[in-house]
Amino acid sequence: MTSQDLKLSIIIPSFNSGSTLEQTLGSIINQKYPNLEIIVIDGNSTDNSLEVIKKYEKHLSYWVSEKDNGQAHAINKGLKVVTGDYVSFMNADDLYLDGAFKQINLIGSKYKYDFIFGNVKSGETLKNSITIKNNLSTLDLDKLLLFFFNVRFIVPSQSVWINLAFLRKNKLDTLDETLNYCMDLDWYCRISMFDPRTYKIEIPNSFFRLAGNTKTLKNSKAMKEESLQVAQKFLKVLNSNQASYWYKHLLLDKILRRIYKKKIDNRLGVHFWLIRKTGIIALFDKRFLGLLKSSI
């Protein structure tokens, strides 16, 4: 370790993730980054998670296994004890890619960014994964609130590193524990309002596992409803043009979903009406263009 190696802190909230937790820990430990703080917050798992945690205990700075009130509560417990220069949280079924920590150390040491994020690889396995790109370059609130629309507006939590001093200075080191799916979205929205110095990494350095038991996949409808709930909290902060842009996306999404569910006929007239109402937004949406083509 040198004086230039930033201390990187990783919080891993875990519950009955014994089948994947070892891989997650391995993706961290095997990088041999010299200044890591690994914190595991387990929610009193009933599978083999505790065995995995104890197996890697010598690599952990802190761990606990006790009943909690969900993912946000677990992360908050980690944020109370974290001490690094930059902090991230990693789900117990996701992975960091080789070289991730050296990259964050280089960026954070040289430029002192407040918020670092990027694209991710995603799939059932890393070997069969593809890169998921978002079209965010900075942490703009009006773009974050389009989380519900499609992945182009999602900041993948697996890619995020935040300057701990920035969080504590602005009293942002707590997630909303009333949220079950979009606590990270709410967090990033609040962070965006403090004008963080932001850096986006284009080449993925993390992996998001798509599996049938993933919370966000099993409960995608509930997650979307919660993302709209979060958006309602922050819409009042947007100017009129930004709010109009958001509502046009919401209208487009609602109508397209009703067409897909056959609650509205896929008629050409519907598409012309949508173009009048949403303009260029519809013309740049792949779902809209696909349905328009099939209606001709």
**Nearest by Cα to 234 from 224, 251, 246:** 246
**Nearest by Cα to 140 from 209, 194, 83, 80:** 194
Whether the CB-CB separation of 68 and 43 falls below 8 Å is answered with yes
Numbers of helices and strands, H then E, in the chain: 13, 11
Give residue 15's pLDDT. 96
Categorize the per-residue pLDDT at 4 as very low, low, confident or very high, splitting at 50, 70 and 90.
confident
Percent of the chain with pLDDT over 70: 97
Percent of the chain with pLDDT over 90: 93
pLDDT tens-digit readout, 116-165: 999 999 999 999 999 999 999 999 999 999 999 999 999 999 999 999 99
Categorize the per-residue pLDDT at 3 as very low, low, confident or very high, splitting at 50, 70 and 90.
low
Map tokens 């891989």 to a residue: 23
Measured CA distances, 167 to 34, 82, 87 (Å): 24, 12, 10
Categorize the per-residue pLDDT at 211 as very low, low, confident or very high, splitting at 50, 70 and 90.
confident
The beta strands (E) that lie in 16-85 are given as 36-42, 62-65
Distance CA 149, CA 291 (A): 17
pLDDT tens-digit readout, 30-49: 999 999 999 999 999 999 99
Measured CA distances, 35 to 60, 100, 115, 193, 206 (Å): 12, 13, 19, 30, 19
pLDDT tens-digit readout, 59-94: 999 999 999 999 999 999 999 999 999 999 999 999
Average pLDDT, the chain: 94
Give me 36's structure tokens.
């890591």
User: What number of CA atoms fall less than 13 Å from residue 271's CA on the CB side?
Assistant: 16
Whether the CB-CB separation of 181 and 219 falls below 8 Å is answered with yes
Distance CA 61, CA 10 (A): 10
Give me 24's structure tokens.
């997650």
